Amino acid sequence: MERENFASKVGAILAAAGSAVGLGNVWRFPIETGQNGGAAFIIIYIICIIVLGLPIMISEFLIGRYTHSNTAGAYRILSDGSPWKWVGRLGVFTGWFILCYYSVVGGWTMHYTFLSADNVFSGVPAKEFGDIFDGFASNPWKPLFWLYLFIGIIHFVITKGVQSGIEKSAKLMMPTLFIITVVLTVCSVSLPGASKGLEFLLKPDWSKVDSGVILQAMGQAFFSLSLGMGCLCTYASYFDKKTPLGKTAVNVSLIDTFIAIMAGFIIFPSVFNIGMNPNEVGVGASLTFISLPNVFQHAFGDGSILAILFSTLFYFLLFVAALTSAISLHEVATAYVTEEFKLSRKKGAAIVTLTILVLGTLCSLSFGPLSDVKVFDRNFFSMFDDFSGMVLLPLGGMLISIFSGWVLDRQLYRNEISNGGDLRTPYFKLLIFSLRYIAPIAIGLVFLGQLGVFELIGMQ
């Protein structure tokens, strides 16, 4: 079967950036930054990206492009029959696992876009936003409808293929996302009292930085850049031989970090404008679907056109961000099923979509009818979220860095990142040093930290 490539370098960067820019940029990064030392946190985050993120991203790119294969195939080809082949399979599994709960939230963002546009939030007292969200999430049908619609859109794009599906949609959606981000940022920073919000986000406070904060920055950098499983490896398998891997990785990281910081510029001026305590806005779903609808409504004038527009655009932005990331997750599994089991793209995508529909349904219902069903003490949604974030991704990231630092042939590595000697790679030695020593140790610490091992032995 002929394998497709991305048609252009820009398309390749936008697709990879689409994977990276997602819910993580909006519902975690800004609040983590504000609470953990502002600019100090941002600096640490950027160091994590340079020291750990870039080397691993470049490795994932290289493994994908060199083998021109899906993630499981890529590690199989490079592992020469050794157990390292399991790293690729683990990656496929992780992506599929993340997609199950990520799509549920994708559906919520669509629902909230429509609620905003319909002016449903006007005149609602602050304390009732929680009831609106709980009422929706626990309803047995409504969230499923949006979940299926969200998965349907992903499926549509994936079946169109690499160029006319993934690349074309990224070329349309990423500029849209960028424009909406700029518009919302401008509106938000011109609110009265905006400077307090920016101060909360940016004022460096090094006293807040401790080992826990550093671990948090590392974990966030990893999730935000889509590292540790094979999204970027799969996309890179569609790069052509001339794509400069180092430069592409830097571009993707810059776009991702820029959008994450702008998300803070969008959120905090409004929070301060209405006099809310930023430490009470919550994180994740409660921030996004309970605090923010209220915040936007009151910052821009309850029921005003501006409030409606701002809120609608914000949820649409989240939807686009979530969609491009979800597409990249789906593609990892689709490429795997299609190539390893020699099926047509249509069939491969259908199999993946069906399994996501079933497990996504369980995750969605875990806020309502299935809320009492616990696996490892958690409802389905949290189990999928925690198991992938706390176990699968750090494990994958660690194995990928060890594999590329210790197992992959050095000459092959050098040859591939320099495009056969065409590009200068003065950073090569540092890159290998990070992959061999810094990254595995650092990710190992994040791993232990997330599992709560440090608290257990009284170190935090």
Q: Which is nearer to ligand TRP, 103 or 364 (CB)?
A: 103
Query: Under 8 Å CB-to-CB from 38, ≥6 apart: which residues?
Result: 199, 200, 201, 202, 203, 204, 205
Rounded CA-CA distance 381/388 in Å is: 11
Contact 265, 185 (CB under 8 A): yes
Looking at beta carbons only, is 59 or 226 nearer to ligand TRP?
A: 226
Number of continuous H segments (helices) and E segments (strands) in the chain: 24, 0
The packing angle between helices 410-417 and 54-67, to 10°, is: 90
Among positions 18, 22, 53, 397, the unique one binding ligand TRP when judged by CB under 6 A: 22
Looking at 118-239, list the stretches that DSSP marks H as alpha helix, in order from N- to C-terminal side.
129-138, 142-159, 168-189, 194-202, 211-224, 231-236
**Shorter beta-carbon distance to ligand TRP: residue 224 or 312:** 224
The yes or no reply on residue 264 touching ligand TRP (CB under 6 A) is no
- When the beta carbons of 281 and 393 are compared against ligand TRP, the nearer one is 393
Q: Which of residues 194-233 bind ligand TRP (CB under 6 A)?
A: 223-224, 226, 228-229, 231
Residue 329 beta carbon to ligand TRP: minimum distance, rounded to whole angstroms: 5
CB 106 within 8 Å of CB 322:
yes
Minimum CB–partner distance for residue 385 and ligand TRP (Å): 11
When the beta carbons of 231 and 432 are compared against ligand TRP, the nearer one is: 231
Q: Which residue has the tokens 């140790």?
A: 441
Binding pattern for the stretch 231-260 against ligand TRP, x by CB under 6 A and - elsewhere: x-----------------------------
For residue 265, how many other CB atoms are within 10 A of its CB?
20
Q: What is the CA radius of gyration of the chain?
A: 21
Which residues are CB-neighbours of 237 under 8 A, at least 6 positions away? 3, 64, 65, 67, 68, 69, 70, 74, 335
Q: What element of type H or E holds 328? A: helix 305-340
Instruction: Report how far apart, in Å, the C-alpha atoms of 422 and of each of 246, 395, 415, 450 are.
Output: 13, 34, 9, 42
Stretch that binds ligand TRP, among 16-24, 75-83, 269-277, 280-288 (CB under 6 A): 16-24
In order of 157, 174, 234, 446, the CA distances from 333 in angstroms are: 14, 22, 9, 26
Say which residue the tokens 């006319």 belong to.
164
Residues 23, 57, 292, 392: which binds ligand TRP (CB under 6 A)? 23
Q: Tell me which residue has its CB nearest to ligand TRP.
A: 22
Nearer Cβ to ligand TRP (26/308): 26
Among 16, 17, 25, 432, binds ligand TRP (CB under 6 A): 25
Binding to ligand TRP by CB under 6 A, coded x per residue (else -) over 385-424, reads: --------x-------------------------------
CB nearer to ligand TRP: pick between 107 and 368:
107
Q: How far is the CB of 428 from ligand TRP (least distance, A)?
A: 25
CB of 391 to ligand TRP, least distance (A): 13
Q: Which is nearer to ligand TRP, 57 or 417 (CB)?
A: 57
The DSSP call for residue 426 is: T
Residue with tokens 């497709």, as numbered in its chain: 4
Total of chain residues touching ligand TRP, rule CB under 6 A: 16
> Of residues 312-371, which lie at the interface with ligand TRP (CB under 6 A)?
325, 328-329
Contact 64, 236 (CB under 8 A): yes
Give the C-alpha distances (Å, rounded to integers) separating 199 from 91, 202, 208, 272, 419.
Answer: 39, 5, 15, 10, 44
CB nearer to ligand TRP: give 222 or 296.
Answer: 222
Taking the complex as a whole, the smallest distance from the CB of residue 263 to ligand TRP amounts, in Å, to: 11
Residues that bind ligand TRP (CB under 6 A): 19-20, 22-25, 223-224, 226, 228-229, 231, 325, 328-329, 393
